[in-house]
Amino acid sequence: MEKIDWQAEVAKRQDALLADLQTLLKIKSERDTKHATADAPLGPGPAKALDTMLTIGRRDGFTTKNVGNVAGRIAYGSGDEIFGIFGHLDVVPAGDDWATDPYAPVIKDGRIYGRGTADDKGPALAAYYGLKIVKDLGLPVHKQIHYIFGTDEESEWVGIHTYLKSEPVPAFGFSPDAEFPIINGEKGIADFTITVLPPKQPAHGDYQLHSFTAGIRTNMVPGRAIAVVSGANPGELLQSFNAFLASHPVDGNMTGEAEGDNITLTVTGKVAHASTPDQGINAAAYLAMFLNSQPLAGLGAAYVQVIANYLAQDTDGTQLGISHHDALMGDLSASADLFYFNAAEHKAMVTINVRYPQGTSDQTINRQIVQTIGADRVTSEIVGDPEPPHYVSGDDPLVKTLLQVYTDHTGQPGHEQIVGGGTYGRVIPRGVAFGAELPDTESVMHQANEYMPLSELWLATAIYADAIYRLAQ
């Protein structure tokens, strides 16, 4: 195989790559079905991002196809076998606490900041430029290369599933949407909505909980939670709240200081990816813990008690009775991510995101939740379409090749990894996730002030170019 200086080829294209990346980062491609149209089934942002990416592909001489404005591909090469690359152009909502505009990318201190820089527009563009380098150099490829883009990976995967129903399915491939050296195993993923039932013997307290809300998506640890209560003495409640904040790793504030006012309590924690809930500080869990120490009445008391006793400060499902360990895939993780309580509507719900290893199932977990808390206190429902655990053997040539490429470019030994994150690598049996985050790099996916180091962007592009060339032989 021809010896190529991949880093030098990347260096020639740095300005062009950055320009294309900034164009994509400026598009607010959050899934937005409230503003869906026939031409934008998942919202205007995702459709615009897809059209922009395919336009870039056509500009560079690739063949493209748009599939229903929810997915598409950029194609190159020929052969009997299809090698797939799977990226996504949607992003999670920006959320709060950004130092800059999340959709006005900023380059500072060797980093590019903006929503989607690390997940997944930066890595996706790195892989695209890797493919572009192979094409620009006229290197021989003996397979069809289909770079497939989805537009709602952060939610329901409508785009990628729509694509795979109507288009040719690759025989093998990778997704540039995780970390190096490789992710060749992913835990199962399922969401469960727990509904707290009106208690048969309601608590009699002086305080009424009117509302409790937190969370943006089921794959994000909530960084902010807000509750409205009445019936409290503002001075006493503030003293108690401040004491709680002083002894726990959260910030907060209280508004409403006149006797008889509704009082609003806000707690701020730290957002994290739901696959690593231990890396976040769940604002809603702490707010529920505080409220559980107060004399609440009725359904509100039952709601915060369930959160405090079964969901707070527990990221492996032990308190919920769903913990499970597998020798290959490790431990289950559980993240309570969406909270909605409204006394007027008689609604009291929490949605938890569970990443589970082989050896258990979504149905088993759902039963265990109700058994642990009690069928007289809650119901639990599986939401959406759970993804079963996924694993590609370390002996597979795909895994071996990618690990060798990683080692050749970094000098570091490659090794298998199994994680709780879910990527498009799992959409085909011989699919893995490959980069772009390097080991020991701070993980900022889904967080405020998301960024990608430029040095990592250049290295990932070189790795992807080499990997694409080798895998297309």
Annotated catalytic residue, options 90, 119, 186, 362: 90
Which residues contact residue 53 at a Cβ distance below 8 angstroms, ignoring those fewer than 6 apart? Answer: 24, 72, 74, 89, 124, 128, 149
40 vs 247: CA distance, rounded Å:
48
CB burial of residue 12 (10 Å; 0-12, 13-18, 19+): exposed
Annotated catalytic residue, options 30, 32, 119, 153: 153
Specify the amino acid at residue 465. A
Report which of 59, 82, 84 is spatially closest to residue 71, judged by C-alpha positions.
Answer: 84
297 vs 301: CA distance, rounded Å:
5
Neighbours of 271 (CB within 10 A): 26
DSSP string, 308-338: IIIITT-SSSTTTT---EETTTEE-EEEEEE
Give me the phi and psi of 302, to 5 degrees please: -65, -40
- Report CA 287 to chain centroid distance, whole Å: 23
Token pair of 460 as six digits: 């990932």
> Which single residue is written with the structure tokens 């490829």?
141
Give the DSSP H or E segment for 178.
strand 178-179
398 vs 366: CA distance, rounded Å:
35
Indicate if 20 belongs to the active site: no
Would you say 89 and 44 are in contact if contact means Cβ atoms under 8 Å apart?
Answer: no
Would you say 157 and 71 are in contact if contact means Cβ atoms under 8 Å apart?
Answer: no
Dihedral in degrees, nearest 10, Cα atoms 73, 79, 82, 87: -40
Indicate if 90 belongs to the active site: yes
DSSP 245: H
399 vs 389: CA distance, rounded Å:
17
186 vs 360: CA distance, rounded Å:
14
185 vs 313: CA distance, rounded Å:
27
Catalytic residues: 90, 153
